[in-house]
Every structure is written in structure tokens, then in C-alpha cells.
Amino acid sequence: RMETQRKKKNTCGTICLKYLLFLFNICFWLAGGAVLAVGVWTLVDKSDYISLLNSGFYSASAFILIVAGVIVTLTGIIGCCATLNEKRSLLIVYLVLLLCVFLLEITAGVLAYVYQQQLDDELRQNLKLNMQQKYLQPGQESVTLSVDKLQQEFKCCGSHNFSDWRDSEWIRGEGTQQLVPDSCCKTPSSLCGRRDHPSNIYRVEGGCVEKLEDYIRSQLYILGGVGVGIAFLQLVGMMFTCCLCRNLKEDLY
């Protein structure tokens, strides 16, 4: 009789774990979609600015989240099948995939944190250099478009201030009458950069480096937070999976 009660208790425990894990997989599948969306959004929304950074850390973190999101989606499907069918072999595959995604997202979170620490120095060194040496130069169309978009979107002019443009290859090389690019103007129009009066350009609003720093730092916080947050959620899934594997009967393996 005690054996029967113990078996019934194990069966009830297995059923509870089974449905808890199933519900977790639905949430996990939705979370995978969120991770994928954040990764894609990070690359697409401000992809132009990546060309201004001589580093792959920012894009690497986003790519890691995209890969993790795809794996999470597949993992959620495998997890649902494994849970409903009580297949121990599928549960082990599911557990391994959970571990892989866990490591990927922790890596993305750590990369985002590490890069955030060196962000200031990298931006200050590279942004001014890119603006002065590559703007409107042959073969540097992507940098030119990125700089124009940056100055218009963040309402700024130059890396630190508008005077950075005086030493640019574009102005010195072509002998142009322009003092700043047209994208520095509050109302852009052809050759509007010939006047650098505060009423015409973003002169008192400051340079772009601090505004881009703040923007990228906020993006890295999102990347890191999403990656690490969902990684810890997966620990719950791994715990449920281990418990279900242990509780399944031998004849269901």
C-alpha cells in the first residue's frame, strides 16, 4: 500500500512538474522572441553609428542576442515536445540547449558591461578622427552618411564642438567656403554650412561625442539587462527539467 501511495505521489509530482515546465516553455518562447527583437532593433535602429566606432564589441553583443533568440525559439519548441511526451532524451537535448543559450546571454551581458567601461575613451579617440579624416572622402560614403545623420538626429555639430571641422580633410583639401557641413544646420539646406552663427547651426548645443556616449550606453544597458535577466530565468527552466528527468519512470525513458 505504501508503495502504491509513493507511486501516486511521484505521478502527481511528475504531472505538476510537466505542466510547470510547459508553462515555462511558453514564457521562454515569448522571451526568445523578445531577445531576438532587441538584438535586431539594436543593429537596425542605429546601425549607421556602428561605422563610427572602430570596435566590434557593440555589434558582437547584438549578434550574440540574435543567435540566442533564434536558439531560444527552437529550444522552446523542443521543450514543449519533450515535456508533453515525457521523452527523457528530448529533455536532455532541451537541457543542453538551455545551457548553451544561458552561456550566450551571459557572454552578451558581460560584453556589454566591459564595453561600457571603455566606451568613453574609444569614442573620444575615434569619433573626432573619423569626422576630420573620413567625412566626404572617396570610399567613405558610409561614414559621411553616419556623421550627417548623427548631427541631425542628436542636434550637435562636430565631435566636441563645431570648431572641430576647421581641421577636417574636407575643408582643408577642397578649399570650400563652408565652415561646417550642412548637417550642422538647424534647418539643413544646400550650402547652409557657410554660416556658423548660433542661430544657424548647433553651436551652443555642444558636440556629438557626449550625446552618442549616452545613447550607446543606454543601448548597452538594455542589451546587458535583457541578456542577464533572461539567463537567470533559464536557471529556473534547467531546475524544472532536472527534476522532471529524475521523476520520470524508467518505462517512459
Give 8's contacts (C-beta < 8 A, 6+ positions apart): none
Dist CA 4 CA 14 (whole Å): 15
Tell me what pLDDT residue 200 has. Answer: 92
Low-confidence ranges of the chain (pLDDT < 70): 1-14, 46-48, 50-51, 53-58, 61, 108-109, 112, 116-117, 119-120, 174-175, 223, 227, 248-253
Task: State the chain's mean pLDDT as an integer.
Answer: 78
Pull the grid cell for residue 222. Answer: 538594455
C-alpha torsion sign, points 188, 127, 228, 84:
positive
- pLDDT (tens digit per residue) in 161-203: 999 998 899 888 766 788 999 999 999 998 999 998 999 999 9
- pLDDT (tens digit per residue) in 86-117: 777 777 887 888 888 778 777 766 776 777 66
Beta-ladder partners of 185 = 201
